[in-house]
Amino acid sequence: MHSHLYFFVLLTLTIAGIACSNDPGTTRQQAANATEQLKRESREAAGNIKKGAAVAETQLTAAAQGVKEGINDKSSSLVDLNSANKAQLMGLPWIDEARANAIIADRPYQRPHDVVSKGAISANEFQKISNHVTVASK
């Protein structure tokens, strides 16, 4: 946009300068040349804008796909029962401070369900968090 304004001003000044010339043929030719140059540069600028828009569209599509994958990636949002801190454990449904402390105290776990076997939480409580937890393999 800025380059269009620059060339329009340049064209206007060129035409104004040419108009002061005494030879109408020279004036006409110079105006035609200035106009042709403006058209070429405008086409080039339009091409650059299209290229930039295509790159931006590609980047936006990639970013949107990444967000979608991140939202759908359940494994990245699972809480590891062996490494989660108290606050992370308390972020799970039905896990209060006492249950979080019990989970931490009974570590390590080989399988997520071991949290029930070791008595840190009840089977009913585990059922409510089972889709949110994992045990990372070491």
Over residues 55-65, the pLDDT tens digits come to 888 888 888 88
Q: What is the pLDDT of residue 126?
A: 96
Q: What is the pLDDT of residue 15?
A: 62
- Residue 134 DSSP SS3: strand
What is the value of pTM for the model shown? 0.49
Query: What does R_g of the chain's alpha carbons equal in angstroms?
Result: 35
Structure confidence by residue, pLDDT tens digits, 114-124 = 999 999 999 99
Structure confidence by residue, pLDDT tens digits, 66-109 = 787 776 665 567 899 999 999 999 999 899 999 999 999 999 99
